[in-house]
Structure 1
Amino acid sequence: MKKIAIFGAGGFGKEVMMLIEQINASKLQWQILGFYDDGVEKGTIINEYEVLGNLADLNAVTGDISVAVAIGDSQIRFDIISRLSNPQLSYPVLMHPNVLTGKYVTIEEGAIITANNILTVNIEVGKFVILNLTCTVGHDAILEDFTSFMPSVNISGGVVVREGVYVGTGAQILNNIEIGAWTKVGAGAVVKESLPAHCTAVGVPAINVKYHE
């Protein structure tokens, strides 16, 4: 079995631990080591697993270890990955056994796809993408690196979601539009038209309410 640790011991980290346990229940694949987190004291026990240290400790680990970066915020996840320099770390795709995928779906390293997601056909999922519970992704969609989709997001066909976009719970993105890099879409929003980069959009229909770095 391969060894795996989770970076991030918060709520989503606990859910990713559950995901790995459910993967193991379907087919034993992972020896779970525990958590790493910069904000939780080493030795703390969370849901029966130990916090083994912080990011510096993870960078000092010897031997091959897989890591799931369980941070829901796109920017923070990007920053953490940029600081993980240990060449012995690898970042597997973690996908719940009940996820439904069609043909010609590509999923790159570090992606985390939780229970009850549906990905149809001809879809590209980039590096370190998070698809939280019960999302749907339509045909010919492109989800670039570090994008984050909270529970029950619906992504229609032909949608392009650029790097680092964060989409809140229950949002809907309609066909053949593009969301610019590092934009944030509020919970429950309905995106009917393309959005520029570095904006925050909320409402039904979603409108750009501010720009950010």
Structure 2
Amino acid sequence: MGSRLILVGAGGFGRELINWAEDAAAQGGQAFAGYLDMHADVLAGSAYALPWLGTPDAYVPQTGDAFVIAIGDPAGKRAVVEQLRARGARFARLVHPSAVVARTAVLGEGVVLCPHSMVSADARVGDFVAVNTLSSVGHDAVVGAYTTLSGHVDLTGHVQVGEGCFFGSGARVLPKVRVGARARIGAGATIMRNVAEDATMFTMPAKKL
């Protein structure tokens, strides 16, 4: 049996990844052959004609299957990976053709790099990290497994991020700052000092003048 790429999670992020995989396929990569989701009809009535293959908690991986995780929540992402891995699953990276990856950067298993994302010199991106559109990982930075960077996130040089963190759109972390495991950084926040594990950091929303 030949290999096939399977999407896990067909919500908003999943539909984005369908498009990015098609872009990659146009340059010799691989498009998705089907998807797993807790809801069989999640793509019903949409422009995406992928077949539903089952639920992540019940699907038994077949020879040649390779999975890409389209789950933004780090804890949920880890749980699904562990479910599938316990049944022998293997995982693929999805790197959009427009992403820029330095030759000295290191990408872990199951990493997703969306359009115009960047991983710079000597950076290390852990397993199942998602780097969304126009986000960047600076030189010598380390990003822990299962972390999610939303769009327009800027991790600057030598930043250290623990496992399972979430960064909202437009968040920025200044050089050499450490962000502890499972921290949540709100949209638009600028992080200038070290962040403790499990902390939530945010900025105030805009106010009407």
Q: TM-score, normalised by structure 1?
A: 0.89
Q: Shift in Å at residue 44 of structure 1? A: 4.5
Q: Partners in 1 of 2:32 and 2:27 — Cα distance?
A: 15
* RMSD, matched Cα: 1.8
Equivalent position of 1:34 in the other structure: 34
Q: Is the 8 A contact 1:42 1:52 kept in 2?
A: no
Unaligned runs of 5+ in 2: 205-209
Q: Partners in 1 of 2:167 and 2:14 — Cα distance?
A: 19
Deviations 1:162-213 (A, max 9, x none): 0000000000110001000000000000001010000110128xxxxxxxxx
Deviations 1:90-119 (A, max 9, x none): 111111111112231000111000000122
Residue 77 of structure 2 corresponds to residue 53 of structure 1? no
Equivalent position of 2:173 in the other structure: 173
Equivalent position of 1:208 in the other structure: none
Which segment is superposed worse, 190-199 or 60-69? Answer: 60-69
Q: Higher strand proportion, which one? A: 1
Q: Shift in Å at residue 35 of structure 1? A: 1.1
Letter in 2 for 1:151: G
Deviations 1:119-144 (A, max 9, x none): 22010000000001001111100001
Deviations 1:61-93 (A, max 9, x none): 432200011001111101111211221x21111
* 1:49 alignment partner, SS class: coil
Correspondence 1:3-22 to 2 at 5 A: 3-22=4-23
Q: Partners in 2 of 1:139 and 1:43 — Cα distance?
A: 38
Q: Shift in Å at residue 41 of structure 1? A: 4.1
Q: TM-score, normalised by structure 2?
A: 0.90
Letter in 1 for 2:65: I
Letter in 2 for 1:2: S
Number of aligned residue pairs: give it. Answer: 201
Q: Partners in 2 of 1:79 and 1:174 — Cα distance?
A: 30
Q: Shift in Å at residue 43 of structure 1? A: 9.0
* 1:6 alignment partner, SS class: strand
Unaligned runs of 5+ in 1: 205-213
Same amino acid, percent of matched pairs: 25
Q: Is the 8 A contact 1:138 1:158 kept in 2?
A: yes
Residue 103 of structure 2 corresponds to residue 103 of structure 1? yes
Correspondence 1:81-120 to 2 at 5 A: 81-84=81-84, 85-87=86-88, 89-120=89-120
Equivalent position of 1:209 in the other structure: none
Q: Partners in 2 of 1:100 and 1:53 — Cα distance?
A: 34
